[in-house]
Structure 1
Amino acid sequence: METLSAFPHLTTSEFEDACTTLAARYDQHSLDQNEWQSVELIYQYEAKYLRITKPLQTCTVGRSTDKDQHTRSDEDEDDIEELEDDDDEVLPTTGGLEVLVVYDILLSPVYRVPVLYISIADPQHRYPPTMQTLYEHLIPSNFEAQAQSGGVIGGISIQDHPATNRPVFFIHPCQTAEAMEESVGRRNITAEEYLILWTGALGKCVGLNVPLALMQQNEV
């Protein structure tokens, strides 16, 4: 794969080639990791984008506040610790089906950089696209302050998905080009390397980490 023609921006063909290559890389290494459940190429109106799914690894109770922690009795703490030991990293299920987080990566026609749309697939609709859902179930606690202030991720809002027209979480790409320039420096990179770096930098803010097996520099 050739180096980018207009870094830090992507052409449509560069983006689609990167999506195709990353999907193929996942097919090759899927059994070497357990973080992502699937990687698919989605075709919509002659356009191509990438969909990554992974189990929702969170308990439905959300985060506890400091006030709650101080007002619990010792007996309550013992009960909670016992429950946590039994249900470590609980995966919410419905009739044996896992609740999934869906990450759609599309190319912004304006900014010419990848953009991330996030939703939770749950048959019981327990995780609506609200900011409460976002902070309780998708954003790791160590990234909360960055998400609230915008930071390098550019801020998160709720918008209609351009392909499905359903309300989803959306990370604005206004600072993506600058962030990629700082991350890559003067190196020449391919579109695939760009997409992996972008996913690693942006995805970790919303619970999407690139599996180590996919970052190996093996030919697909």
Structure 2
Amino acid sequence: MLSRSDFDSACQALACKLEDWEWEDKYPYGYLTRCKNYRRNSASIAEGPELGEEAELEEDEATAHATSPGSGDVISQQYVVYSPGFQVPAFYFTVHNTNGTPLTLDELMDTTLFKFEVPAGSSANGYALSLPDAPFPLLSQGDHPTLGTPCWYLHPCETKNAVDELCREVEESDRTTVRWIELWMMTVGSVVDL
């Protein structure tokens, strides 16, 4: 498990090492942040409205094309924050269309952000996605711990076990807090496109 000060120092070191992540030293707690573009999966762009939904007509065709929910690009603001309850990093993020409209869970899962298809037997509502037989949702909504803004986040409950398993494969000389967080990013990267 990590202390907040270990997390802060390791993330600050990583921010110097990684091109696209920045350390934000905000009150009361700092975090890593970046903005990244993703695409909707091509099938969802071609499909248009969900089955049973009618397409809404826009008065201005140019505006309708620019802000269409089926447009290809989406923008994700991403954060690596400290989870005091689990004493590990947690991945928080927002995803929205280029016009600023946040994506629904179904739309979110149909982007290139995620590296997997939702398994059969999973349960989802507008605020969470739970995998079959999982005690906690894999993906939930909650407020960013520092900014207080609504975000999606990957539940950190199994983080320590997953990263510790990878750590056992790493040479003893590489076991630093920075290396632990790099392995955490690799673990999260197996679920989302970091």
> Normalized against structure 1, the TM-score is what?
0.61
Which segments of 5 or more consecutive residues in structure 2 lack a partner in the other structure?
Answer: 48-70, 123-128
* Alignment coverage as a number of residue pairs: 159
Which segments of 5 or more consecutive residues in structure 1 lack a partner in the other structure?
Answer: 1-8, 31-37, 66-89, 93-98, 209-220
Question: Shift in Å at residue 44 of structure 1?
Answer: 2.2
Q: Percent identity?
A: 24
Q: 2:142 aligns with which of 149, 156, 159?
A: 159
- Given that residues 45 and 72 in structure 2 are in contact (C-alpha distance below 8 angstroms), is that contact kept between their aligned partners in structure 1? no
Query: Matched residue of 1:168: which SS?
Result: strand
1:119 aligns with 2:94: yes
Structure 1 residues 135 and 122: CA distance shift in structure 2, 3 A: closer
Structure 1 residues 204 and 57: CA distance shift in structure 2, 3 A: farther
1:109 aligns with 2:109: no
* Residue 50 (structure 1) aligns with: 32
* Residue 178 (structure 1) aligns with: 161
Query: Matched residue of 2:180: which SS?
Result: helix
1:19 aligns with 2:18: no
Q: 1:132 aligns with which of 80, 103, 106?
A: 106
The answer to which structure has the higher helix fraction is: 1
Provide the rounded CA distance (Å) in 2 between the counterparts of 1:154 and 1:197: 22
Structure 1 residues 101 and 111: CA distance shift in structure 2, 3 A: same
The answer to which structure has the higher strand fraction is: 2
Q: 1:40 aligns with which of 1, 22, 46?
A: 22
1:195 aligns with 2:181: yes
> Normalized against structure 2, the TM-score is what?
0.68
Q: Superposition RMSD on alpha carbons, in Å?
A: 3.1
1:204 aligns with 2:190: yes
- Given that residues 81 and 145 in structure 2 are in contact (C-alpha distance below 8 angstroms), is that contact kept between their aligned partners in structure 1? no
